[in-house]
Structure 1
Amino acid sequence: MSFSSTIISSLLGIPLGVFIGSTEFRGKAWVLRITNTLMGLPPVVAGLIVLLILSRSGPLGKLKLLYTVTAMVIAQVVLITPIITGLTNNIVSLRAPQIQETAVGVGLSRSKQMLYTIYECRMQLISTVLAGFGRAIAEVGAVSIVGGNVQYKTRVMTTAIMLQTNMGHFEFAIALGIVLLVISFLINAVVQRLQEGKLRDD
């Protein structure tokens, strides 16, 4: 689930962050303020918003997505996309002048300039995606609200840890926490190794 959420959020957040970071437009300051605010959106608020939208009386209630994995993915996307967008903007805004000068010099179109920017910043953007994944894999509040923590259906590792802790099964909760840390460590180790290999090639 966290992988799906991260992929969707990256497909939304990276192009948006590149556009904001490399383009001057009216209202950009307000867009940045809103993005920075949403980066700190409380998970329970995100979960509540998705709950209201997907509930029977909500605008998307007919889809019957509430208390499903799809609803949990939506909630995570709401949380992760602003983070990836904001971090991408920060990366691109620092390198945009140099990258755009090169792109314009070789006659790239606007769309190709965006792709070129993503390519030039790809190693830093991987770290941005990892930050989003870390946020997703640690999420409890939003996924609990929209998923319901239903056994064998919408219960994930973080909500299982919360449940086991509330039940007083601390040994099992700690074991699940260790598994979660190991998964996160292995993913980060693999990506770091790939980044180091790329830097040596460059």
Structure 2
Amino acid sequence: MEAVWQGLVQAYYLLIRLDPGVMEVVALTFKVCGLATAVSVFIGVPLGTFLALKEFPGRRLVISLVNTGMGLPPVVVGLWVSFLLWRSGPLGRLGLIYTPAAMVIAQAFIAAPLVTGLTMAAIQQLPARLKTQVLALGASPGQLYWTLLKEARLGILAAIIAGFGGVISEVGAASMVGGNIMHQTRVLTTATVMEVSRGHFDIAMALSFILLGLAFSITAVLTVLQQRTRAVPDGRKKLLRLL
């Protein structure tokens, strides 16, 4: 308990003093995780919607791959992304290895299956007749997809929260493709692991509290947005006015 208390006190002083090193790590963590989550949403929401609504040869195989990706070990993702980005790899000429961009790519690969799978499940849980009703009212394909997304908004926001949780807690892939380089690729998770390896448990505990605070703050904002949507009138009641 002494280490926990010391870590909490250390975290308080680091934040109150706005320690430049800690603020730099926090800023990079927020930047990398935010971009990775945004990329995963950009890919996962449309893909999940498509898989939920369309039938095509090989659909079950694609869904199986998505479901497998939801539990894919981060170190495996880090290994393959590293292989692609190494100087001798297929994309080595881009010079992305050991950069924040490489970390965003790796973490987006981790979060995208989560967002895709949970979005697909949210769309599939909608009433089976809803799609037919919307089309019968003369909706265009774009209006159909937008209406279904609004109806499934609670599940989709849950998918985004899950995707963010997957990237902000990840350490294996971030270390492999980022290298934990000071002032370049060091984020809160990799910095915590490094301090533990050095035996600086008070600093590691402080960083862990800061990480938990950051994760809670952003997740709380997303949760508020998610729960506020419950008060929005049912999209089907507004459909006639929208169309």
Taking structure 2 as the reference length, the TM-score comes to 0.79
- Which residue does the alignment assign to 1:30? 61
Range with bigger deviation, 35-44 or 132-141: 35-44
Partner of 2:114: 83
Which of 87, 91, 94 is matched with 1:56 structurally?
87
* Alignment: residue pair count: 202
| Greater radius of gyration (CA) | 2
Q: CA RMSD in A?
A: 1.4
> After superposition, where does 1:48-197 map in structure 2 within 5 Å?
48-95=79-126, 97-197=128-228
Shift of 1:111: 3.4
CA distance in 2 between counterparts of 1:38 and 1:172 reads 34
The whole-number CA distance in structure 2 between the counterparts of 1:13 and 1:58 is 27
Distance 1:110 1:200 in 2: 26
- Kindly state the Cα deviation for residue 201 of structure 1 after the two structures are TM-superposed: 4.2
Match of 1:46 among 77, 93, 105: 77
**Once the 2 structures are TM-superposed, how far is the Cα of residue 121 of structure 1 from its aligned partner?**
1.3
Asked if the contact 2:158–2:226 (Cα under 8 Å) also holds between the matched residues in 1, the reply is no
d(CA) in 2 for partners of 1:26, 1:7: 29
Question: Aligned partners of 1:99 and 1:179: how far apart in 2?
Answer: 44
Task: Identify if the C-alpha distance between structure 1 residues 128 and 107 changes in structure 2 by more than 3 Å, giving closer, same or farther.
Answer: same
With normalisation by structure 1, the TM-score equals 0.94
Q: For the Cα contact (< 8 Å) 1:134–1:184, is it kept in 2?
A: yes
What are the residue-to-residue correspondences of 1:2-17 with 2, within 5 Å? 2-17=33-48
Q: Secondary structure at the match of 1:25?
A: coil
Which whole-Å CA distance do the structure 2 matches of 1:96 and 1:56 have between them? 50
**Partner deviation per Cα, 1:141-160 (whole Å, 9 max, x = no partner):** 00100001001100000000
Q: Is the 8 A contact 2:118 2:155 kept in 1?
A: no
Change (3 A) 1:90 1:196: closer
Note closer, same or farther for the CA distance 1:55–1:115 as it changes in structure 2 (3 Å cut): same
Where structure 2 has 5 or more consecutive residues not aligned to the other structure, the ranges are 1-31, 234-243
Taking only the aligned residue pairs, the percentage that are identical comes to 41
**Which is further off, 106-115 or 147-156?**
106-115
Which runs of 5 or more structure 1 residues have no equivalent in the other structure? none
User: CA offsets per residue over residues 88-130 of structure 1, 9 Å max, x none?
Assistant: 1111111162331232122223333222221221222111101
Distance 1:155 1:135 in 2: 18
- Give the conservation status (yes or no) of the 8 Å contact 1:83–1:132: yes
Counterpart residue identity of residue 33, structure 1: S
